[in-house]
Homo-oligomer: A and B are copies of this chain.
Amino acid sequence: MLPSSTVENYLKAIYLGTSQRPDGDRLPMGHLAAALGVVPGTATTMVKALAESGLVDYEPYNGVRLSAAGLTLAALVLRRHRLIELFLVRVMGLGWDEVHDEAEHLEHVMSDRLIARMDEMLGFPQVDPHGDPIPNAAGEFPAHESTTLMTCDTGTPVTVTRITDQEAGFLRFVQQYGLMPGHELEVVARDEAADAVSLSGPDGQRLTIGTRAASKVRVSASQASSRA
């Protein structure tokens, strides 16, 4: 039997939750519940059921993480979500700050047929509008390595690859200051005490943002503009 959309949402939330914490670490039930907007007890009940089905590895009082089967399922949900987001931006002309919520609903009802057609129309893309990687139809994530503005080298040019927060307000801020994926910039300095990071864009303009924001912007070393 195919998973209900509730199950899909749990798997997705567990994936996203565990992915941003030390490797192999389980996701505390409270975090999961908060991410899904349910009370903790509800999450516990549901996760126990998921464990029964072999989709997650659950240890009471210690948290939950995906099994191999659960990971594949989560990847397929993410695949649908991200292809839909890209489709809405590229084909339908919506803003990248308004497609997340829309995709949240559509991801549970689109047939494989339709997803495949979108994939084709988009030219089999690797990443969505926020730079998030799009798993393939087998549920495998493309390889990707990058750091954030908090951890990358200072004084060397980097290219934004990904924004790891879908909140509309944050996305509009990112867009306004030219921090979207593909844009090039450089970390000038980090000020621990001020909790801030100073950046300079390619056109030389300066910008200082908080560390909270900085850690949501992923980058990779710019290709040495190897044309010489």
Binding site for B on A (CB under 8 A): 88, 91-94, 98, 101-102, 105-106, 108-111, 113-114, 117-118, 121
On whether the beta carbons of B106 and A121 are closer than 8 Å, the reply is no
Chain B residue at minimal CB-CB distance from A92: B117
Please judge, given known A-B contacts A91-B91, A92-B121, A121-B92, whether A98 and B113 are in contact too, CB under 8 Å.
yes
CB neighbours of A109 from chain B (8 A) = 105-106, 108-109
Chain B residue at minimal CB-CB distance from A118: B92
This chain's copy number in the assembly: 2
CB neighbours of A117 from chain B (8 A) = 92-94
Chain B residue at minimal CB-CB distance from A93: B117
CB neighbours of A91 from chain B (8 A) = 91
On whether the beta carbons of B121 and A110 are closer than 8 Å, the reply is no
From A98, A110, A113, A114, residue with most partner B Cβ within 10 Å: A114
Please judge, given known A-B contacts A91-B91, A92-B121, A121-B92, whether A106 and B113 are in contact too, CB under 8 Å.
no
Chain B residue at minimal CB-CB distance from A106: B109
- A62 vs chain B, min Cβ distance (A): 36
From A94, A105, A109, A117, residue with most partner B Cβ within 10 Å: A109
User: What is the CA–CA distance of A210 and B121 in the complex, to the nearest angstrom?
Assistant: 40
User: What is the CA–CA distance of A55 and B113 in the complex, to the nearest angstrom?
Assistant: 35
On whether the beta carbons of B102 and A111 are closer than 8 Å, the reply is yes
User: What is the CA–CA distance of A98 and B116 in the complex, to the nearest angstrom?
Assistant: 15
Q: A106-B109, A108-B109 are in contact. List 8 more A-B contacts (CB 8 A).
A: A92-B117, A92-B121, A94-B114, A94-B117, A102-B110, A102-B111, A105-B111, A106-B106
- A110 vs chain B, min Cβ distance (A): 7
Chain B residue at minimal CB-CB distance from A101: B111
User: What is the CA–CA distance of A117 and B93 in the complex, to the nearest angstrom?
Assistant: 9
User: What is the CA–CA distance of A109 and B92 in the complex, to the nearest angstrom?
Assistant: 16
Partner of A114, one of B92, B111, B118: B92
